[in-house]
Structures are given as structure tokens and as C-alpha cells.
Amino acid sequence: MSAPLPSPLPSRLSFHKYQGLGNDFILVDNRQQPQPCLTPEQAIALCDRRFGIGADGVIFLLPGQAGADFSMRLFNSDGSEPEMCGNGIRCLAQFLHRLGIPGREGAYQIHTLAGRIVPQLRADGQVTVDMGIPRLLAGQIPTTLAEAEQKVIQKPLSVAGREWQVTGVSMGNPHCVTFLGAGESLEDLDLPVVGPQFEHHPAFPERTNTEFVQVLSPTCLRMRVWERGAGATLACGTGACAVLVAAVLEGRAEPEATVELPGGNLEIRWDPSTQHVFMTGPALHVFSGTVAE
């Protein structure tokens, strides 16, 4: 049997493991330099659940840009860099609090590749995040399922031998949302088969996250997710926001609803006056450590 490949694990790296509804991340205090201290290859190695620490991604706490208090960047477990991470930014807010950085009335101004995002710690220990305004035009998602200046609502998409109706939403990162038909169940979905075919579909030039949704009521949505660059995860915060937005656009839900994910629930609100989406949910520190020599 051949010896395992040499690991690019960054020896002696201090890290902090957090999770939001089981969507788990390795957080690195990277405030000493403007660029991430790790390469995508090192992030892949750290995320490996056998040879590394194990996580859905690596999140970097960086110095602020554009007037923000701090910046956040992250690598998915496949080494790709997404624009934003909803569960992850709740974890980042808890990390800042644990570092003894109070924020303004518990709120932190965070610069991300999706723009300014504002998580706020709540007295009950949960975190509410102003996720900004969803992008709904095909050119913003991006997708070729419609003309660039058109919305993508209930468009047909052939995947895995069947036609799905999909709605596209960007929360800074791309999301393809599809609602199950009567008699279909989330448990019957073969995510490892259909997920990658959605993720890599040519209609999504930057790949996509895909959410499969069952409407329990206009104020309760149940979902599973296949994430771009991470696969099937227990929760996706930007995905839950995209699901609420898509459900409202399709006339299936109220602007405020509970989104049930395999890892737990998120409360999502799409404010009609400001068009901002707000997400509320938990984020917990699991352990801290240092990578071996």
C-alpha cells in the first residue's frame, strides 16, 4: 500500500472550530495581514474529516476594508472561494465576542465579497444578520436561464433526466431553488446524484448552491441543500435566505418564515420596505486548537 501523500497541513496553526446548525467552520484570526494566511490547498487539507480537522470551510477574520470594522473571507472545503457565508458570519460574530471585541451595541460591520454584512449578537445568544438585498436578475446570480436583466422565476431546467422548475436568487453567492411537487418528499432525493449535476450545470457559469424545498405552510419551509464547493451540508444560511425569497416570489410564503434545515431552524425575514433580508440563528464555539508540528 502506498504511503499517504505529504499533507500541506500548516503546522502550529492556531484555529477555532465553530458551527451554525451543524454547518461547521475552522476560524483563523488573520487580523495581522490583509490576505488569508493559508492557501486553498491548505484549506482543503484542514477540512478533511480524516486527515485534517474536518469542516465545511475555513473562515478568515481579516482587517476591515471600506470603512468596515473587519473583513471576512472563506474557502469552501473544495478550496473554492465563495462571496459570502450566512452560518459562517454568525460564527464570526461569536468569535469576535469571545475575543473580547464588543461591537457597536453588539453589532459588527463586516466587509465581505458580497458587500457590507452586519451580524448582531442577541441577549438570548443567537445572532441576527442583516444579509443585505437579494439580487434577482439573471446577470447578477449569474445564470443563463433568462436574459441578463430578467428575473429567474419558475424557469425549466433539465437535470438528472427530469425537468425541474427553478428560481434563481443571489445573496452574493448563487442559489438555485426548487420546490417539490405534491407527493414528493425531501427524503427521497438522491442528493449525491442530483446535487453535483445542479452545481455544475452549464446554466450556472460560477456553479451554484441548490436548495430543495417542501412548503409546510406559508410561514414554515423545510429544505435540504447541496452546496457549491462543499456538497450536502446540514445547513446553509445564505441558502435559507434564498429559499424564503424564492418562496415569496413564487407566492408560496409570507415575507417572514421559519426555515427548517437538517441541522436546525433559522428565522428569515425579507423586509418589504428596505428589501433587506434578516437571518436569525445560533452559532457555537466547539473547540480551539493548534495544528501539530
Ligand X SMILES: N[C@@H](CCC[C@H](N)C(=O)O)C(=O)O
Q: What are the catalytic residues?
A: 85, 236
- The DSSP secondary structure of 224-290, one letter per residue, reads EEEETTTEE-S--HHHHHHHHHHHHHTTSS-SEEEEEETTEEEEEEE-TTT--EEEEE--EEEEEEE
**How remote is the C-alpha of 257 from its chain's centroid?**
18
Minimum CB separation from ligand X for residue 204, in Å?
A: 11
- Grid coordinates given for 256: 417572514
- Grid coordinates given for 279: 437571518
Minimum CB separation from ligand X for residue 57, in Å?
A: 6
* Interaction of residue 281 with ligand X, rule CB under 6 A: no
Q: How far, in Å, CA of 268 to CA of 259, rounded?
A: 7
User: Which one of 45, 85, 117, 136 is in contact with ligand X (CB under 6 A)?
Assistant: 85
30 is in an annotated binding site: no
Minimum CB separation from ligand X for residue 122, in Å?
A: 18
* Interaction of residue 87 with ligand X, rule CB under 6 A: yes
- Grid coordinates given for 131: 444579509
73 is in an annotated binding site: no
Judged by phi (left if over 0) then psi (alpha if -120 to 50, else beta), residue 65 lies in beta
* Interaction of residue 23 with ligand X, rule CB under 6 A: yes
For residue 129, the surrounding DSSP H or E stretch is strand 127-130
227 is in an annotated binding site: yes
Q: How far, in Å, CA of 281 to CA of 273, rounded?
A: 22
User: Which one of 167, 178, 209, 210 is in contact with ligand X (CB under 6 A)?
Assistant: 209
Q: Which residues from 104-163 bind ligand X, rule CB under 6 A? A: none
Q: By C-beta, is 230 or 268 nearer to ligand X?
A: 230
* Interaction of residue 263 with ligand X, rule CB under 6 A: no
Minimum CB separation from ligand X for residue 5, in Å?
A: 25
Minimum CB separation from ligand X for residue 242, in Å?
A: 9
238 is in an annotated binding site: yes
List, as own/partner pairs, every contact residues 118-122 make where C-beta atoms lie below 8 angstroms and the sequence separation is at least 24, other chains included. Answer: 119/89, 119/90, 119/92, 119/93, 120/93, 121/93, 121/94, 121/97, 122/280
Asked if residue 233 lies in contact with residue 200, where contact means CB atoms within 8 angstroms, the answer is: no
Minimum CB separation from ligand X for residue 189, in Å?
A: 18
What number of helices (H) and strands (E) belong to the chain?
4, 17
Q: Which residues from 220-249 bind ligand X, rule CB under 6 A? A: 227-230, 233, 236-239
173 is in an annotated binding site: yes
Q: By C-beta, is 94 or 233 nearer to ligand X?
A: 233
Q: Which residues from 152-191 bind ligand X, rule CB under 6 A? A: 173
* Interaction of residue 76 with ligand X, rule CB under 6 A: yes
Kindly indicate which of the ranges 33-41, 65-73, 84-92, 244-252 contains the residues binding ligand X, using the contact rule CB under 6 A. 84-92
- Residue 137's SS3 state is strand
Q: By C-beta, is 227 or 260 nearer to ligand X?
A: 227
Which residues of the shown chain bind ligand X in the complex (CB under 6 A)?
Answer: 23, 76, 82, 85-88, 173, 209, 227-230, 233, 236-239
Binding-site residue ranges for substrate: 23, 76, 86-87, 173, 209, 227-228, 237-238
Binding-site residue ranges: 23, 76, 86-87, 173, 209, 227-228, 237-238
